[in-house]
A and B are shown apart, each in its own frame.
Chain A
Amino acid sequence: AQSVTQLDSQVPVFEEAPVELRCNYSSSVSVYLFWYVQYPNQGLQLLLKYLSGSTLVKGINGFEAEFNKSQTSFHLRKPSVHISDTAEYFCAVSRGNTGFQKLVFGTGTRLLVSP
């Protein structure tokens, strides 16, 4: 079975600083990987996803993530954050090559951007 670990429950950064949110997964089969963002009291919105191909994936709002199969990681990065990036970020994994998609989510990382 798949599982996802988000090592940091909260990451405080200053505006315009770079940030990395860590995600590690465990799975014995090929996987698809996702990052979602949740703003306060809202649903989740997809930031980016890795299905296959290039290991560097670019998403919305200037975010990108790199798939590292040997380290089973899919860390999310942004070179310069804005106040508006304050939100909770969830990493998720689904098992590839199945007829039905179930996502397994990490516990989330709260990004706090201050001026």
Chain B
Amino acid sequence: SQTIHQWPATLVQPVGSPLSLECTVEGTSNPNLYWYRQAAGRGLQLLFYSVGIGQISSEVPQNLSASRPQDRQFILSSKKLLLSDSGFYLCAWSRLAGVSDEQFFGPGTRLTVL
């Protein structure tokens, strides 16, 4: 069966510090991968998605970047965090050819920027 992991589970960082959040998927190959941010009262915002190694698409301009160094690894980064980067970050995957397939979500990382 497939599983998706995210770490760390929680993170408190000062403004201006760097960020690295990691997501890994097990039990599948060539997944589509996604990063979402969930801010209070604002639902889920798609930040990045990837259809393959090194292929990253950004949905909104922001202070963050994403990378996919391996097939089942997706990393969210920032060089300098802003207060507005606080939120709950969710990684998800879906089957590569599955238009109608569901997305499977990780447990999330709660980031607080002080």
- Which residues of A line the B interface, CB within 8 A? 9, 32, 34, 36, 41-46, 49, 51, 90, 94, 96-103, 105-108
* CB atoms of A99 and B99 under 8 A apart: yes
Select which of B98, B99, B108 is within 8 A of A41 by beta carbon. Answer: B108
With A32-B100, A41-B110 already in contact, 11 other A-B pairs whose C-beta atoms are closer than 8 Å: A9-B41, A34-B102, A36-B105, A41-B108, A44-B90, A49-B102, A90-B44, A98-B99, A101-B99, A102-B49, A105-B43
A36 to B98, CA, bound (A): 18
Quick one: which of B44, B101, B105 has the most chain A CB within 10 A? B44
Min CB–CB distance A98 → chain B (angstroms):
6
A34 to B102, CA, bound (A): 8
A106 to B110, CA, bound (A): 20
Q: Contacts A43-B106, A45-B105, A96-B99 known; A101 to B32 CB distance under 8 Å? A: yes
A108 to B99, CA, bound (A): 23
| Total inter-chain residue pairs, C-beta < 8 Å | 57
List A contacts of B64 (CB < 8 A): none
Select which of B42, B43, B90, B99 is within 8 A of A100 by beta carbon. Answer: B99
* B94 at interface by CB-CB < 8 Å: yes
Min CB–CB distance A41 → chain B (angstroms):
7
Q: Label chain A's interface by main secondary structure.
A: loop
Nearest A-chain residue to B106, judged by Cβ: A43
Write 7 A-B pairs (CB below 8 A) sorted by A numbering: A44-B90, A44-B103, A51-B100, A101-B32, A101-B94, A102-B49, A107-B41
Per-residue CB proximity of B81-114 to A under 8 Å, as 1/0? 0000000001010100111111101111010000
Nearest A-chain residue to B95, judged by Cβ: A101
* CB atoms of A100 and B32 under 8 A apart: yes
* B19 at interface by CB-CB < 8 Å: no
Min CB–CB distance A87 → chain B (angstroms):
14
Quick one: which of A42, A49, A100 has the most chain B CB within 10 A? A100
* CB atoms of B46 and A97 under 8 A apart: no
Quick one: which of B43, B90, B101 has the most chain A CB within 10 A? B43
Min CB–CB distance B46 → chain A (angstroms):
7
